[in-house]
Amino acid sequence: MANPKKSALGRGLSALLENEDTDITGSTGVSGKATVGSIAEISISKIEANPFQPRTRFESNALEELAESIRTHGVIQPVTVRKMGNDTFQLISGERRFRASQLAGLNTVPAYVRVANDQTMLEMALVENIQREDLNPIEVAVSYKRLIEECELTHEGLSEKISKSRSNITNFLRLLKLPPEIQMALTKGTISMGHARALINIKDEQKQLEIFERIIDEVLSVRDVENLARQAKRPAPSKNDTAQKKEYYKDAKYGISQRLNAKVDLKFLPNGNGKIVIDFVNEHDLNRIVELLKSTGNNY
């Protein structure tokens, strides 16, 4: 007989919950006998928070809205818990629903009861959170990092487990290299993922912070930041290069001045363009310079 196909986390939390190794086939401390796939009503006072919860921010307004929905309709989607000692339970997933149920004043919540070791529990909590749509990019990045480090996964292994491309994983992980100020702004939604990805391409942290401040002060678009990032990546001219350019411009200015027998100045503009300024003392002098330029051809 062929070996059964191994469950993949990429199928979501349900892939783990359908695994018979994580189910309680008969437990005490819940109302009735919980069998595989069954739901039990558990006292909220007997459920403790998940220590592996990747989410650190729960918006109070959103929680209150969910609490109001629960008061009206009840808990539609059960939370998932694991059985602990002394008739207590620990959340595996569904902390937002659990908190909203507390706000709604419920005494019990419907729950799937599972047996899970810490490693499995961590994976389940992280994977469920990664698949949520309301996570900010930093929460996703931290979840990726924890799965790689604490569950000893490679980027390729993580890609298979969560059904995300390796480039997606890499792009999120790179966010954690940004300065704390920028990470916090991304967490709060002050800047977008596009802004952050453009800033990542700047190697100099001080330059990152300078452009970040401009994003806030000038309300720059992602395209604006991408252009600034490209400019910041251009190598600064060396001292030798700068000295050679100054010498070249000095010689050019002197040569033109001598040829036209007039005062000449070179003006450089911020965008890299410039202009040659030729002084003349009167209309006759101007005509003389014009005739000289016509006869000079391509010499200058």
Active site (annotated) includes residue 95: yes
Overall size of the chain counted in residues: 300
**Which one, of 108, 75, 114, 68, lies nearest residue 91 by Cα?**
114
- Which one from 95, 123, 128, 139 is the annotated catalytic residue? 95
Asked if 50 and 90 count as a contact pair (C-beta separation under 8 A), the reply is yes
Positions marked active-site: 95
